């Protein structure tokens, strides 16, 4: 470039480099855009739904068991034979938290993201809702009255000013707030229940409260939905509180007409560090409560009373094994027992009935699994036992003593349950307000013609073909008012 003599040197314009705060603002703006995006919220909800499907298909570890290392090992050993595709399948699924989907790190992150997204979307909508409620747009253009979901045009004999008075009068009688504006035409706006549009935010808030309660319950709560105890047995409550429950008796009452169970009751003893602290008969509508723990009656079934001794005759355990599982054939019941002091897990399989050619009534099949090594998914020994006769299985003397009953309780401690109930109430209130007191808006446009005026009315509400809409009733009232005889 050639510069003429005597002219000052040219200065090159430069754009100031973006500072650190500018970069931070840019990042925050993009983050806010993501959080307020409906598409992002839908993707998060889809991922949560996918994890919910996985959690419903894969057996889930009772809440609280994972916090006790030994309880986790015992539980994994109990279900290990069910996953026999390859030796390390159970361990890999455990490391991926597939047995505790709803308490997994990924699930909690997704719930947290959805919660933040709902809050951000609500905050993003508030200014617009306030503007709609306090400063709505009155003067909409003529094309709106042609393309609105519902619109009507009325030819009036009155002047534009008189037509305006009649239209606003009808709106006020029907409970509408009215606003007007005037340029070449007269614009009329009416709305009803304008603050009820915030009911949608109540619905969003309710979901946030419910998810907060669920997160608190998942982090600080405890739930075991398969707390099965056979008659005479004692089971430790997996909350590291020294609590245990003994089932002394289980009874079922049948309806004399339908022969279906009308009542079932579990007589239990609650113990703290081996000392009895309470006795209670647990029924469906009468749970046992201790502190913040609740024991609910869930179901019941058959159990097998087993006595197990080692090769030297030392008693390893004598307890009932609940048939709380089902084999894949859907006919035989299954009980799982981790033998104390050994590395063995036993599958105790009941009979499928008179048609069962392998396990006859009065017999059980016992399969022994080694919890370590490549054989953990394959039984190392398998015997069918007659009642009252000892047999050697995996070097242990096992006797099927008798058949008994078991009860299945649900043990729960949920500090977030009050938030869940509050959120459910807010959700109901939000829906009730939304449907019972919906925010209604109508616009009117009044133009002068040679012998009167033309009144155009429109609303954004969709027309319901099944019933007459509020807009149609409103227009009919306006048409009647405009066609009434003109006072002299």
Sign of CA dihedral 55, 61, 63, 64: negative
CA–CA separation, 173 and 280 (whole Å): 63
CB 232 within 8 A of CB 405: no
* Burial class of residue 288 in the structure, from the number of CB atoms within 10 Å of its CB (0-12 exposed, 13-18 middle, 19+ buried): buried
CA–CA separation, 168 and 159 (whole Å): 14
What pLDDT sits at residue 485? 66
What pLDDT sits at residue 186? 93
CA–CA separation, 102 and 336 (whole Å): 24
What pLDDT sits at residue 86? 67
- The rounded Cα 407 to chain-centroid distance in angstroms is 28
Helices 105-134 and 38-57 pack at an angle, to 10 degrees, of 140
Spelled out in words, what is the top-level CATH class assigned to the domain 136-193+439-483? alpha beta
252: pLDDT strictly greater than 60: yes
% of the chain beyond a pLDDT of 70: 90
In tens, the pLDDT along 293-349 reads 999 999 899 999 999 999 999 999 999 999 988 877 778 899 989 898 888 889 999
What radius of gyration do the chain's Cα atoms show?
36
% of the chain beyond a pLDDT of 90: 38
In the predicted model, what is the mean pLDDT of the chain?
A: 85
- Name, in order, each residue with C-beta under 8 angstroms of 176's C-beta and a sequence gap of 6 or more: 190, 191, 192, 440, 442
Tokens of 43: 């993707």
In tens, the pLDDT along 88-124 reads 788 888 888 888 888 888 988 998 888 888 888 888 8
What pLDDT sits at residue 487? 53
CB 439 within 8 A of CB 196: yes
CA–CA separation, 317 and 306 (whole Å): 8
484: pLDDT strictly greater than 70: yes
CA–CA separation, 66 and 60 (whole Å): 11
Q: Give me the count of residues in the chain.
A: 488
- Name, in order, each residue with C-beta under 8 angstroms of 225's C-beta and a sequence gap of 6 or more: 62, 298, 410
pLDDT band at 488 (very low <50, low <70, confident <90, very high): very low
DSSP 157: S
In tens, the pLDDT along 267-299 reads 999 999 989 999 999 998 899 999 889 999 998
Buried b vs exposed e over 244-266: b needs ≥16 C-beta within 10 Å? bbbbeebeeeeeeeeeeeeebbb
CA–CA separation, 75 and 65 (whole Å): 8
* Burial class of residue 299 in the structure, from the number of CB atoms within 10 Å of its CB (0-12 exposed, 13-18 middle, 19+ buried): middle
What pLDDT sits at residue 183? 86
In tens, the pLDDT along 216-227 reads 877 777 788 888
Alpha helices in 36-104 (DSSP H): 38-57, 69-79, 89-95
What pLDDT sits at residue 14? 54
In tens, the pLDDT along 42-75 reads 899 899 889 989 988 888 887 666 666 767 777 7
Instruction: State how beta strands 243-254 and 234-236 pair.
Output: antiparallel
What pLDDT sits at residue 468? 57
Q: Which residue has the higher pLDDT, 181 or 20?
A: 181
Domain boundaries, given as residue ranges, for the chain: 30-122, 136-193+439-483, 222-413
Nearest to 47 by CA among 101, 110, 127: 110
177: pLDDT strictly greater than 70: yes
What pLDDT sits at residue 461? 82
Tokens of 196: 């009820």
What pLDDT sits at residue 240? 64
Q: What is the mean pLDDT of residues 196-224?
A: 84
CA–CA separation, 331 and 317 (whole Å): 28
CA–CA separation, 85 and 370 (whole Å): 16
CB 424 within 8 A of CB 206: yes
Tokens of 279: 């006795």
In tens, the pLDDT along 23-44 reads 777 777 787 888 778 888 889 9
446: pLDDT strictly greater than 90: yes
Q: What is the mean pLDDT of residues 206-233?
A: 84
What number of other Cβ atoms are within 10 A of residue 150's Cβ? 17
DSSP string, 158-217: S-HHHHHHHHHHHHHHTT-EEEEEESSSEEEEEEESGGGGGHHHHHHHHHHHHHHHHHHH
What pLDDT sits at residue 2? 46
């Amino acid at each position: 470039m050639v510069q003429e003599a005597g002219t000052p040197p040219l200065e090159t314009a430069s754009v100031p480099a973006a500072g650190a705060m500018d970069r931070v603002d840019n990042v925050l703006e993009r983050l806010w855009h993501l959080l307020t995006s409906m598409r992002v919220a839908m993707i998060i909800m889809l991922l949560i739904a996918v994890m919910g499907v996985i959690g419903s298909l894969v057996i889930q570890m009772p809440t609280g068991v994972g916090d006790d290392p030994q309880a986790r090992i015992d539980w994994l050993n109990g279900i290990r034979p069910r996953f026999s595709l390859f030796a390390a399948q159970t361990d890999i699924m455990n490391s991926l938290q597939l047995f505790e989907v709803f308490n997994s790190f990924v699930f909690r992150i997704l719930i947290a993201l959805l919660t933040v997204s709902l809050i951000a979307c609500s905050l993003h909508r508030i200014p617009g809702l306030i503007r709609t409620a306090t400063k709505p747009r009155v003067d909409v253009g003529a094309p709106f009255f042609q393309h609105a979901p519902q619109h009507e045009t009325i030819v009036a004999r009155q002047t534009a000013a008189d037509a305006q008075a009649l239209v606003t009068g009808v709106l006020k009688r029907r409970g509408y707030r009215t606003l007007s504006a005037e340029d070449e035409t007269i614009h009329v706006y009416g709305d009803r229940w304008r603050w009820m549009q915030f009911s949608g935010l109540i619905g969003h808030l309710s979901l946030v409260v419910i998810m907060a309660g669920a997160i608190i319950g998942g982090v600080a709560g405890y739930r075991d939905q398969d707390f099965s105890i056979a008659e005479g047995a004692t089971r430790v409550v997996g909350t590291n509180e020294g609590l245990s429950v003994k089932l002394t008796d289980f009874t079922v009452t049948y309806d004399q007409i339908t022969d279906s169970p009308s009542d079932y009751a579990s007589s239990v003893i609650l113990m703290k560090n081996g000392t009895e602290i309470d006795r209670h008969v647990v029924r469906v509508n009468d749970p046992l409560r201790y502190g913040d723990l609740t024991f609910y009656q869930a179901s019941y079934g058959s159990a097998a009373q087993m006595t197990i001794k080692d090769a030297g005759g030392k008693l390893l355990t004598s307890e009932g094994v609940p048939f709380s599982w089902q084999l894949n054939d859907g006919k035989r019941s299954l009980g799982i027992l981790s033998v104390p002091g050994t590395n063995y897990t036993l599958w105790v399989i009941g009979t499928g009935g008179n048609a069962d050619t392998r396990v006859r009534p009065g017999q059980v099949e016992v399969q022994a699994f080694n919890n370590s090594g490549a054989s953990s998914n394959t039984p190392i020994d398998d015997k069918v036992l007659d009642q009252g006769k000892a047999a050697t299985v995996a070097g242990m003397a096992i006797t099927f003593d008798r058949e008994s009953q078991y009860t299945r309780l649900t043990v729960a401690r949920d500090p977030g349950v009050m938030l869940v109930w509050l959120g459910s109430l807010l959700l109901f209130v939000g829906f009730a307000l939304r449907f019972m007191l919906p925010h209604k808006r109508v616009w009117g446009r009044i133009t002068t013609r040679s012998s009167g005026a033309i009144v155009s009315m429109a609303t954004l509400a969709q027309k319901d073909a099944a019933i007459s809409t509020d807009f149609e009733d409103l227009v009919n009232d306006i048409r009647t008012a405009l066609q009434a005889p003109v006072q002299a």
